[in-house]
Structure 1
Amino acid sequence: MNQVKIEIDGMEVYTQKGKTIMEAAEEADIYIPHLCHHPDLHEEGGCRLCVVEINGREESHTACTTLAEEGMSVTTKSENLDQMRRLSMELMLANHVDDCTTCPKYLKCELQSLIQYLGVSTSRLRRTLNAVNVETGNPLIIRDPNRCVACGRCVRVCRDVRGVGILGFHKNEEVRTAVGVNGGLALAKADCRFCGACVEVCPTGALQDKKGTFQEGNREDVLIPCKQECPAGINVPKYVRLIKEGKYEEAAAVVREKAPFPKSLGLVCMRFCESACRRKEINGAVSIRELKRFAAGHDTYRWKEKSVFKPQTGKRVAVVGAGPAGLTAAYYLAKSGHAVDVFEKLPVAGGMLSAGIPDYRLPAQIVEEEIAVIREAGVKIFTNRKISSLEELKNLGYEAILIAAGTDKGVRIPLPGAELLNVHVNIDFLRRNLLSTPMELKDSVVVLGGGNVAFDCARTAKRLGCREVSVVCLEEEGSMTAGEEEITEAREEGIRIYNGRTFVRIIENGGKAAGVLCRKVESFTFDENRKLILTVKEDSDHVISGEMVIFSTGQKPDLESFEELTLNPRGLVETDGSGNTGIKGVFAAGDAVTGTASVIQAIAGARKAASEIDRYLGGDGNIEECLTEDEEVNGFIGKAEGFADFGRRTYRCISLDQRKDNFHLMTEGFEETEAICEAERCLQCDLRPRLTRSRFWTEYQYK
């Protein structure tokens, strides 16, 4: 017989044979005081708080180490038990700092909760604590020995659950038992894996995450910062782990679960995940984007076998704009059973992916391959088709319309001379060949702006043979919005960067541009209406010469055809946050809503809008899919010698001579061994929320 019946405080409780009294009680939602006990750890009974009385036995027993036996009658509350528990608690508190209000776990501390439950007062205790220094020198983790009660949870989770085993019990100078790192080493030197399990199970503030390591919010989300910071919520730890295990096509499928552009993202993603990566506090973030690129390069498309297409609904959706937002929404709406037509005013689909980002960063062929998968899902794309009004689409019988027009109009700052010959805006310059726009190239070019698009313009001009190319921007170097690598690589290619400058006027020579009159900036801010407030240095006027000037100081959406839409002061579409515009059946997503953002942000907004449109059309709004097996993850990660010193790898640029005068892809991704080594640097943050959260006594039904 596998089941036994016992009695706890007069209540009949059934549990499996081989389980302890503590386990039986927790299954029945009965609280027995405890501190060293944790559901995921083997039991030691060291804290002696879970003592219970068993009918027919003289001595008390610890509930966490005593097996439940058929017919056993257990008492958890008595005066004798209360005295024993108070004594155990007082012994622990004698070496514990008395001030709780300065502890980060204040009001979230198991020890503090137990003090309240047991009614223990520290005022009568004979304090034996001599304060020791708080250890703040380790990456990510703070250790405060003054708050340690030697419960041993951290030791057991490190040793038995993670298989790392760098923590142990030691005698300090006063011959008291304390928990510390074996050999007295720093965590990095002891080969800590920085998984955070020890912090997670610590019942006091003895082990803490450093301030700023995690944001506030839902535990399941914030403990995995790379996934939380990804706008589309891609399961980063899962595909990184799959790469480490050599399961490359499965890794690609994980990315595909949230985004239909994995190859493009592997080249141009803004890497919000890396900004949040905890490994960066040790020796550099994991190169997540490059791992995504590696996985996408090994995609065999076997994930299609698991891809789900819902039955046809007979509902029709029109999408205006074939950029990453429009195509993403179209893809998921088609998979939800709707007939989707996408209208694109340009000769090609892809938006800025195809008609904005230069081929040396993102080859057009890669974008075409990914769009082919979207077409295969049933999405019809009509290029060279500009929509004149919402009424036009309604008359064609569409039940829902998504505006995903992007921000494909460059902004020309109204400076004196802005309309001179050879003065252009970024988007026109980048699309000059696609749209057959007459544009005379010059030897010297000045690009105004400090973002990625500005550098796209500058580096494109250089590749087209422009001899002197300068980028001029308001921001100081450390505050530029362009990526750090973009700036470094531009400098390598001979592009000059002038930081901290404001533009006064375009210099004229014979009706043509000859340069830009600038002033040096001491500081600048924007007011609540996004109006620029500048402080400039006196007598700092100077000219940066250039026979061609390109404005790259922003972009805006082309929404002239949709006058019914409500726009905010920035000229962007107002929505309710999930795509609704307030006009029945009309939704919006992407840069037309957010302003110029990133590909991954456009994808995230499109997913929300697609879900909302599906609900509007009578669906359940569920566009989630699982394209990989949901395997049980082994939390026994083991020790890795020199783990903290595993060096970061990233992409390689081809040599300057090979890239400076052409538009071939300028970067090389990981080889297999490099990808595996980089994946092995991951701290596997997703293991931490898999640990069972400790329950406070207030959360039990019977207490």
Structure 2
Amino acid sequence: MKIIIDGKEIVAEVGTSVLRAAIDSGVFIPHLCDHPDLEAVGGCRLCSVEVEGIEEVVPSCKTIVQEGMVVKVNSPKADKIRKMAMELILASHPAECTGCPKYGKCELQSMYQYMGVGPERWRMKSRTIANDDSNPLIQHLFTRCVRCGRCIRACRDLRGVKVLDFQRTKDGLRVGTDNGVSLKEAGCKFCGACIEVCPTGSIMDAIGIIKEDVSYRDSVVPCTSACPASIDIPRYIRYIKDGDFAKAIAVVREKVPFPKVLGSVCSHVCEDDCKRNELGNPISICKLKRAAAVHDHGAWKKNVKRSNPTGKKVAVIGGGPAGLTAAYYLVKKGHVVTVIEENEKVGGQCRYGIPAYRLPDELLDNEIADILEEGVQLITGAKADTPKALLEKGYDAVLVSCGTHQGTMLPLKGNDLEGVYVNTDFLKNARLSAPLAIGENVMVLGGGNVAYDCARTALRLGAKKVYIACLENTDQMTATKDEIEEGQEEGVILHSAHSFLRIVGDTKVEGVELQKVDKFYFDENRRPVIELSEGTKEIILVDNVIFAVGQKPAGTDTMGLELINNAYVKTNDNMETSMEGVFAAGDVVTGTKSVIIAIEAGRKSAEEIDKYLGGNGDISEQLVYKESPNSYIGPCPGFGDLERSKPKLLNSNIRKSSFEVVEKTFEVDTAKCEASRCLQCDLRLNITKPKLWNEY
């Protein structure tokens, strides 16, 4: 229907308000309590207008358009009401703007500037109410509140959580919870909608939640930001909550071809950044990925994006997670890809460096089969030619992704004794069912997950006592909390904050001399500084010592490429090496990291190689239609206290005597329950951001 606003004829949709019709047509009317996603209440009176045929001015946000309606925005009567309303709002608002985090982005500031209402009457009535920063994730600065009610409507109507309302207090009317209980006690789901709709910064993210060095989106959804592969974590967790595992795994597979592997061994740095940590424990993101993966029946395959053949050939040296990931995406871009692997099977450290009780062969083989199904060619049990030779044989590009399969040994006295092993040899032989000989007592030197892999493997191979010694204290150790706890349950004896002085023995290992560390840190040049405690030397009697203090690439010194520290391949930002047409990715570049970091390196190298071969470098794909999530999340009493679900484990006495998988997958109901703990932070990004007047 047609209406006239200040002499301008505009077309408005039936049922819309005068305010929305005007704004949608580029005619600005001041407003504050109105928000595009919330039902209007007409409380602030800033949007007052005159309508022909109506004596009193009316709030345009509550006035529905009618055919032929004539509206006056800039009339003396309407202008008087708006200015009076603004002066009343400003009368109890803090006079100082420049110190406010919303300065320059505040809707109130924008409105009074537009209306020409100055701050001279701001001090008419002051409110000295203490800020409430007692709640996790959210702080409330009452003096900035203009009682527009947006936060209440967002909590009650948009989200359906219903914990906020106007409360009458000794300090007057203000936003809060019934009986003044904490947000957590009231059942708040900490979705952040109240923060997002607040026009003045009265309700804000707690200090430190929004990071200055990252984008707003990454601050709001920190789990996805922290994930090296940028998996849309809230989206797949929401599908799991709804019981739609097929869609959940499709979301994961949009970024990674190894969801089952990651569900078993991912370092899950995303959980460290999960906002749920502020309420206790993070969402079990990794275990939920695994729960979705076991229900993967391949429905996503019908949406896989494949390009026409290009005739270009790529050789990949090394079939670990980085190389296989790159091969997977490159072959889908139409290139002919051959993976050359020195071992009898591909999989890299996933197969030869991670024990079977964490990652069994059949699980790995299942996901590799999906990669081969796309047409990736394999040459196994063969040492690859040099990159230069491969280019001369007709390959258009070469990717070096041979990993770090050579264990390192500290220069300790006695490291050449019989019974001293390095982690890579020890773990690989165990996976090949040809374990290295060990005695009853074993010492593992190192404090990471690999050290625990060695220690727990030694127990399964028959050792009676297994020790771990590391320089770091328990808080500094890089081993995950779960790994430390499970190792302790199985009988691993930890000597944290201990230095290794020497390996004792004549021709064969007889023990290790340790000394307690008083302080261990790195100086400004990243050199380790170790201060030992006097009088704390001791010798632990053992039959074997396993070094788990790092590993490095093998064979890179003969590739003809520029190296760093004589082993790691040097690349630029585009993953190009010193040789034209040769790229490198994964641990061979970065040193030993994690499976998820290797996968992301594989993705990036595929993009760069595709561009080098004339493509657009776009390997993105949408394996499931992206639906708009329901903004109405509903109430859940006790939401803040919901406990993190833990996977069931084999009994420690049973598991330490076999290589059977230790950790069981979440059952369907457990997975749905755990997923329901998610704060759904990403829903904030779907809330419409109101424009300031100068943006119209």
Query: TM-score range with shorter-chain normalisation?
Result: over 0.9
Query: Residues 585 and 79 (structure 1 numbering): CA distance in 2 closer, same or farther, change over 3 Å?
Result: farther
**Contact kept in structure 2, 1:389 and 1:562, CA below 8 Å:** yes
Of 682-691 and 561-570, more deviation after overlay is shown by: 561-570
Superposed CA deviations along residues 291-321 of structure 1, whole A, max 9, x for unmatched, are 1111111111121112222111111111111
TM-score by length of 2: 0.95
Equivalent residue number for residue 361 of structure 2: 364
Which residue of the other structure, out of 504, 511, 518, is the alignment partner of 2:501? Answer: 504
- What is the Cα deviation at residue 23 of structure 1? 1.5
Match of 1:189, SS?
Answer: helix
Match of 2:620, SS?
Answer: coil
- The answer to whether 1:272 aligns with 2:269 is yes
Match of 1:519, SS?
Answer: strand
**Contact kept in structure 2, 1:347 and 1:434, CA below 8 Å:** no
Which residue of the other structure, out of 502, 512, 517, is the alignment partner of 2:513? Answer: 517
Match of 1:44, SS?
Answer: coil
Of 605-614 and 79-88, more deviation after overlay is shown by: 79-88
- What is the Cα deviation at residue 173 of structure 1? 1.7
Equivalent residue number for residue 545 of structure 2: 549
Equivalent residue number for residue 65 of structure 1: 62
Query: Residues 206 and 662 (structure 1 numbering): CA distance in 2 closer, same or farther, change over 3 Å?
Result: same
Equivalent residue number for residue 13 of structure 2: 16
Q: Distance in 1 between matches of 2:76 and 2:591?
A: 67
Equivalent residue number for residue 469 of structure 1: 466
Equivalent residue number for residue 41 of structure 2: 44
Of 449-458 and 177-186, more deviation after overlay is shown by: 177-186
- The answer to whether 1:336 aligns with 2:333 is yes
- What is the Cα deviation at residue 493 of structure 1? 1.1
Equivalent residue number for residue 2 of structure 2: 4
Equivalent residue number for residue 637 of structure 2: 641
Q: Distance in 1 between matches of 2:433 and 2:284?
A: 38
- What is the Cα deviation at residue 69 of structure 1? 4.0
**Aligned amino acid, residue 222 of structure 1:** S
Total equivalences in the alignment: 695
Equivalent residue number for residue 669 of structure 1: 665
Superposed CA deviations along residues 501-547 of structure 1, whole A, max 9, x for unmatched, are 2222222x222222222332222333465432222233433323322
- The answer to whether 1:403 aligns with 2:400 is yes
Residue identity (%): 47
**Contact kept in structure 1, 2:51 and 2:70, CA below 8 Å:** yes
**Contact kept in structure 1, 2:556 and 2:569, CA below 8 Å:** no
Of 419-428 and 98-107, more deviation after overlay is shown by: 98-107
- The answer to whether 1:85 aligns with 2:82 is yes
Q: Distance in 2 between matches of 1:210 and 1:446?
A: 46
Superposed CA deviations along residues 258-283 of structure 1, whole A, max 9, x for unmatched, are 11111111111111221122122113
Of 307-316 and 455-464, more deviation after overlay is shown by: 307-316
Q: Distance in 2 between matches of 1:30 and 1:408?
A: 67
**Aligned amino acid, residue 295 of structure 2:** H
Which residue of the other structure, out of 440, 462, 465, is the alignment partner of 1:443? Answer: 440
4+ aligned runs moved over 6 Å, structure 1? 435-438
**Contact kept in structure 1, 2:351 and 2:431, CA below 8 Å:** no
**Aligned amino acid, residue 2 of structure 2:** V
Q: Distance in 2 between matches of 1:219 and 1:26?
A: 26
Q: Distance in 1 between matches of 2:107 and 2:480?
A: 44
**Contact kept in structure 2, 1:388 and 1:561, CA below 8 Å:** no
**Contact kept in structure 1, 2:316 and 2:323, CA below 8 Å:** yes
**Aligned amino acid, residue 459 of structure 2:** K
Q: Distance in 2 between matches of 1:460 and 1:213?
A: 41
Which residue of the other structure, out of 449, 453, 464, is the alignment partner of 1:452? Answer: 449
Superposed CA deviations along residues 553-598 of structure 1, whole A, max 9, x for unmatched, are 1111225255443333584333333423353222111112222111
**Aligned amino acid, residue 525 of structure 1:** Y
Q: Cα RMSD between the aligned structures?
A: 2.2
Of 665-674 and 524-533, more deviation after overlay is shown by: 524-533
- What is the Cα deviation at residue 81 of structure 1? 4.8
Of 199-208 and 73-82, more deviation after overlay is shown by: 73-82
Q: Distance in 2 between matches of 1:543 and 1:67?
A: 86
Q: Distance in 2 between matches of 1:690 and 1:591?
A: 38
Equivalent residue number for residue 127 of structure 1: 124
Matches within 5 A, 1:239-638: 239-433=236-430, 439-507=436-504, 509-527=505-523, 530-561=526-557, 563-569=559-565, 571-638=567-634
**Contact kept in structure 1, 2:340 and 2:382, CA below 8 Å:** yes
**Aligned amino acid, residue 661 of structure 1:** S
- Uncovered stretches (5+) of structure 2, i.e. residues with no partner: none
Match of 1:188, SS?
Answer: helix
**Contact kept in structure 2, 1:328 and 1:603, CA below 8 Å:** yes
Match of 2:85, SS?
Answer: helix
Equivalent residue number for residue 686 of structure 2: 690
Matches within 5 A, 1:211-250: 211-216=207-212, 217-250=214-247
- Uncovered stretches (5+) of structure 1, i.e. residues with no partner: none
Q: Distance in 2 between matches of 1:358 and 1:435?
A: 11
Q: Distance in 1 between matches of 2:651 and 2:358?
A: 15
Superposed CA deviations along residues 18-71 of structure 1, whole A, max 9, x for unmatched, are 222321232234432221111111111211122234466554332322234444
**Contact kept in structure 1, 2:30 and 2:47, CA below 8 Å:** yes
